[in-house]
Amino acid sequence: MALFSSKPKEAAPSLPVHVGIIMDGNGRWAKKRGLPRKAGHVEGAKTFRTIVRYCSEVGIKYLTVYAFSTENWKRPSDEVSALMKLFKSYLEEAITDFRDDNIVIRFIGDKSGFSPELQKLMDDNEECARDRSGMVLNIAMNYGSRDEIVRAVKSISRDVKSGALGEDDINAELISSRLYTAGQPDPDLIIRPSGEYRISNFMLWQSAYTEFVIMNKLWPDFKKSDLDEALAIYAQRSRRYGGV
C-alpha cells in the first residue's frame, strides 16, 4: 500500500507512535508443513528481522514485540531449549544487525529467568544500542504483564513502607513509571497475527485504550504488506478514549 511504503518526513497523525506485535503462529506454520515446531520459530525469526526494519522505515517510533512469555516455559523442554538456542544465535548477531537502522534495543521482562550467557547477551545488546536515536525496539522476553504489575506494586509498597511515598502519591502515572515500559507512550496499536482473539498477558496496563488488529496470518507468513494493512485499518479507527 503506497501510503505507508516510503519513509515519511514527519509521522502522519494517523500513524501509530507505538505498535505492539504478538508474534504468534510459528508452531501452526510448521505443523501445516509437517515440520517440527522449532522450524516455525526459525522462520518466525526471519519475519521478525524484516518487520522490525520495516516498522523503522515507515516511521514507527516504538515497537514492542512479544517473543517469549512468562507462561511459555511450560512448553515441552525440547521446544524451550530450541527457543533458547535461537535467542542465543539471534542475540549474537543482533548487536550489529540493527546498527545501520539506528534502532535502540531494549528488553522488557524478567531477564533473571534466562541463563547467565543469554542475560549477558541481552545486556550487551542494550549497551551497544544505547546511543542510537532511531526507533525503540522493546523485545518482550520472559515477559508477563501480570508479573510486571506485581513488580510495580511491590516497588511502590516498599517506597510507601520506607516513607519515600505517601498513599496519596499513588496514581496511574506512578504505576506506569514502575513498569518495564516506563517513560514510553502506551501502544496505539497491537497487532496479533495467527487469528487468536486474546491478549495472552501482553501489556495489560498499557493497552487500556489500544486499538487491536487481529490478522488471519501466521507470523512466519506475515509480510510488509500485512503491516501496511494493519496500519491502514488503524488509520480508519476512531479513538474516543471514553469521550464522544
The verdict on whether 102 is a catalytic residue reads no
Which of 26, 72, 102, 221 is flagged as catalytic? 72
Give the nearer residue to Mg ion in terms of CB position, either 24 or 211.
24
Looking at residues 19 to 48 of the shown chain, list those that interact with Mg ion (rule: CB under 5 A): 24
| Least distance (Å) between residue 167 CB and ligand IPE | 35
Q: Could you give phi then psi for residue 108, rounded to 5 degrees?
A: -120, 140
- Cα–Cα–Cα angle for 83, 101, 59, nearest 5°? 100
Binding partner of residue 69 among ligand IPE, Mg ion, none, CB cut-off 5 to 8 Å per kind: ligand IPE
Known active-site residue 138: no
Helices (H) and strands (E) in the chain, counts: 8, 6
Note the helical H segments in the chain. Answer: 2-5, 26-32, 37-58, 77-97, 116-128, 145-162, 172-177, 224-236
User: What is the grid cell recorded at 60?
Assistant: 514507527
66 binds, among Mg ion, ligand IPE, none (CB under 5 to 8 A by kind): ligand IPE
179 binds, among ligand IPE, Mg ion, none (CB under 5 to 8 A by kind): none
The least distance separating Mg ion from the CB of residue 173, rounded to whole angstroms, comes to 33
Q: Cβ distance 64 to 20 under 8 Å?
A: yes
From the CB of 160, what's the least distance to ligand IPE, in Å? 33
Q: Please count the residues of this chain forming the interface with Mg ion, following the rule CB under 5 A.
A: 1
